[in-house]
Amino acid sequence: MNSMKYRDALYEVDPITDLRDLMNYSAERYGDNAAYLVKDKLGGPYRPISFREFRSDVTAFGTALMDLDLKGRYIAVTGENRYEWVVAYMAAVCGASVIVPIDRELSAEEIANLLNRSGAAAIVYSGKTEKIVNEALKDAPGVSIKISMDAAANTDEKFSMKSLITHGRKLIEEGRREYFRAEIDPDAMCALIFTSGTTGLAKGVMLSHTNIVHNVVGMAEFMRVIGWTALDVLPMHHTYEFNCGILGTMYQGVTVAFCEGLKYIVKNMAEVKANLILGVPLMFEKMYKAIWRQAENTGKAKNMRRAITLSKAVGGSKLKATKKVFKAVHQAMGGDMRLIIAGGAAIDPAVIEDFNAMGFTMVQGYGMTECSPIVAVNKDRCHKAASAGLPLGKTEVKVIDADADGIGEIAYRGPSVMLGYFDNPEETEKVLKDGWLYSGDYGYVDDDGFVYLTGRKKDVIVTKNGKNIFPEEVEYYLLKSDYIEEAVVWGKDETAGDTVICADIFPNMPDIREKYGNIDETEVRKILDREIDAANEKMPPYKRVKRFDVVDAPFEKTTTQKIKRYKVEHRI
C-alpha cells in the first residue's frame, strides 16, 4: 500500500457545521437508541436515555439559561463524569454561550482563579463538589448564578438542573423559541479549556465549533463504531475524553455508559457489554500487567506467550477463533471489548501488539488541547503499534529543524488548530506562526505519513557534547522492569565533566515483597540497581542512568495521569 493510500479516509462521513448541528444530526439519525446509560445510585442498574431525550433536556436547560440572561456569557461546569455534565456543556455551546470546563480535583483557590480569569457568570456543579465550589465562590464575585446538578437540601431548588429543565420545557410550551433561533458562529469560541498545568500556570485554550467538529468528523473517517457501546472513564473536563469519548461517539450513535469509578471498570464493562474504551497508557499498562500476573499465578503464562507468538505469525487478530483462545483475557475486559484507544501519552508498543494478538483492536493517537485535541490517530484497520497514527483529514504535519535522524519539533496546521490562548497574545505568538502550531513535541514522520513522538522539547536533556536525550525513552526501558512502578529521568551537569543521567524511582513494593519478602531499604536499592543495569544494557552509553534515588510515594500527577515533572524534587 503506497503512502498516499494510507492517508485516505477509510469511511464516508456526513458533514456537520457546529455542535448544535451535531446534536440534531444524532437525534434525527439515532432517535430512540440509547445515547447514555446512567445509574441513579451506586451499584444500581443502568438506565437508558435516548438521543431524542438528550436533545430535549439540552434544549430545555438551554432555554432556561437564556431566561437567566446567560446567552453569550461564560458558563463553568465542574463535577464527576455524569449525564448532567454533558447536558450543561451542550446547552451552553448550542445556545451561543461559552463553556468553561473545570477540573473537579483542583483546590478552591485554583477554581476561583479560573472563574475570575474566564469571567464566568455562572457555574454548574455536582453535589460532590458543592463544598469546594462554595469556598471558591467567596473569591469569585463575578459568578452570580450557581446551578446544582443535584437537588440537595441546602440547594436553592430554583437553581437545580432538574427544576431549570422543567422551567425550560414550560417556556418552550409557551412559545419561547430564542434558544432554537440563537445564531451559531462556527468560527467563534465556544469552549475555553484550561490546560492541565503540568508546566505551571494553566493556559486557556480557545476552541471554536469548527475546531471541534473537524476533529469529530475526522475521527469517524478513521474508525467505524456506529451503534457500539462505550464505557466513559477519563475525566470529562479534558478534551481527549469529552471531544473524543462524548462528542465523537455522539456523531456515530454510540451508547455511552458512565463508569462508577476506576475500581469498577471491569464490572461496568461487563454490565453494559462495552465494545469501546478510551484511556491513558497507565490505565492499560496496569490492565496488561494484571493479565500477565494472573497468567503467571495460574501457570498459564508460558502457553499464553506461545499463543501470542503464533497469533502474530498468522494474523490472529483478524480471526474469530482468537477470542476463544484468549477467552480469559476477554472476560477480564468485560467479555465484549472490541476497540481500545490509548491517548494522552506514549504507550509501550508491546502492549498494543499483544492486545491485538489476543483478539482486540488496540491503537494509539496523538494530540493536544490546542488541536481540539487529535492531531493524528491510527485507523481501526490500518495501524502501526509504535506510531501515534496518521494526521486527520485536512491536517498538515511537518518537522521543524530535523536532525540527522529526522527528529525535530512537530508542527501542524488545519481546521482543528485553536483560535489562540485566552487573553494571552504573547503565549499565542510563541506557538502560532504563519498558521502553524508549534507543538513543543519532538518526533518524526515516516514515509507512509505516520507520526512518531520521541519526547517533549522542554524535557530534552542536551549533553555537553551536543547529544539529545529524551527522558521518555530512558523511562521506557526502566519501566520494563516489574519492580519499577514509576520513573522520572533528568540530567545533571557536573562541574568538571559531562551531563550525568539520573533517575528518581518509585519502586513496585508489592511485587518486590512477593518475590523477596520483607527486605530493608538497602536490599531494595540493590534490586533496583540490578534492574537499572539491565535497562542500561539496552541503551547506548550516553543514555545510561548513572545515579538514582528511591522515592517513597507515587509522583504527583494530572487527572490524565501525566507526572508533573516540574513538581519533582531531585535530591541527587
- Which carries the bigger pLDDT value, residue 314 or residue 243? 243
What's the CA dihedral at 254, 95, 87, 223 to 10 degrees?
Answer: 20
Query: How many residues comprise the chain?
Result: 572
**What region does 264 belong to: left with phi over 0, alpha with psi -120 to 50, or beta?**
alpha
Compute the distance between CA of residue 69 and CA of residue 91 in angstroms, rounded to an integer. 14
Percent of the chain residues past pLDDT 70, beyond the cut: 95
Minimal CA–CA distance to 431: which of 209, 212, 203?
203
Q: Is residue 96 part of a domain?
A: yes
Yes or no: say if 211 and 242 are a contact pair by the CB < 8 Å rule: no
Identify the weakest region by mean pLDDT among 27-36, 58-67, 292-301.
Answer: 292-301
- Among residues 148, 164, 183, which one ends one of the domains? 183
Residue 65: strand, helix, or coil: helix
pLDDT at 1 over 70: no
DSSP 299: T
- Among residues 145, 166, 183, which one ends one of the domains? 183
- pLDDT tens digits for 19-42? 999 999 999 999 999 999 999 999
Q: Is residue 235 part of a domain?
A: no
Q: What is the pLDDT of residue 488?
A: 96
Beta-bridge partner residues of 488: 504
Q: How many domains does the chain have?
A: 2
Compute the distance between CA of residue 301 and CA of residue 456 in angstroms, rounded to an integer. 36
Cell numbers describing residue 474: 530512558
**CATH number for the domain harbouring residue 531:** 3.30.300.30
Half-sphere exposure of 20 (CA within 13 A, CB side): 18
- pLDDT tens digits for 352-385? 999 999 999 999 999 999 999 999 999 998 899 9
Q: Is residue 361 part of a domain?
A: no
- pLDDT tens digits for 393-444? 999 999 999 988 899 999 999 999 999 999 999 999 999 999 999 999 999 9
For residues 329-344, give the mean pLDDT.
94
Identify the weakest region by mean pLDDT among 10-14, 402-406, 551-555.
Answer: 402-406
pLDDT at 505 over 90: yes
pLDDT band at 303 (very low <50, low <70, confident <90, very high): very high
- Cα angle vertex 293, ends 288, 296, to 5°? 130
Sign of the C-alpha dihedral computed for residues 562, 566, 567 and 569 taken in this order: positive
pLDDT band at 159 (very low <50, low <70, confident <90, very high): confident
Identify the weakest region by mean pLDDT among 72-76, 127-131, 217-221, 260-264.
Answer: 260-264
- What domain range includes position 523? 460-567
Q: Is residue 557 part of a domain?
A: yes
Q: How far is CA 81 from the centre of its chain?
A: 13
Is the bond into 541 cis (omega within 30 degrees of 0)?
Answer: no
- Average pLDDT score over the chain: 92
For residues 178-201, give the mean pLDDT.
85
pLDDT at 206 over 80: yes
**What region does 544 belong to: left with phi over 0, alpha with psi -120 to 50, or beta?**
beta
- Among residues 183, 216, 238, which one ends one of the domains? 183
Q: What is the pLDDT of residue 224?
A: 97
**CATH number for the domain harbouring residue 79:** 3.40.50.980
Q: Is residue 62 part of a domain?
A: yes
Beta-bridge partner residues of 451: 389, 445
pLDDT at 570 over 70: yes
Q: What is the pLDDT of residue 446?
A: 96
Yes or no: say if 17 and 61 are a contact pair by the CB < 8 Å rule: no
Q: What is the pLDDT of residue 410?
A: 96
- pLDDT tens digits for 507-542? 999 999 999 999 999 999 999 999 999 999 998 888
Those residues with Cβ within 8 angstroms of residue 358's Cβ, 6 or more apart along the chain or in another chain: 308, 311, 317, 322, 326, 329, 330
Backbone dihedral angles phi then psi of residue 161, each to the nearest 5 degrees: -60, -40
Sign of the C-alpha dihedral computed for residues 66, 72, 78 and 84 taken in this order: positive
pLDDT at 118 over 50: yes
Minimal CA–CA distance to 548: which of 518, 570, 522, 519?
570
Residue that is written with C-alpha cell 531494595 in the block? 524
Burial class (CB in 10 A: 0-12, 13-18, 19+), 496: exposed
10 Å Cβ neighbour count for 449? 17
pLDDT at 3 over 70: no
Q: Is residue 240 part of a domain?
A: no
Compute the distance between CA of residue 498 and CA of residue 279 in angstroms, rounded to an integer. 39
Half-sphere exposure of 107 (CA within 13 A, CB side): 4
Q: Is residue 525 part of a domain?
A: yes
- pLDDT tens digits for 434-484? 999 999 999 999 999 999 999 888 888 877 666 778 898 899 899 999 999
Q: Is residue 447 part of a domain?
A: no
For residues 89-104, give the mean pLDDT.
97
Longest dimension (CA), the chain: 81
- Which amino acid is present at 4? M
Minimal CA–CA distance to 364: which of 347, 356, 350?
347
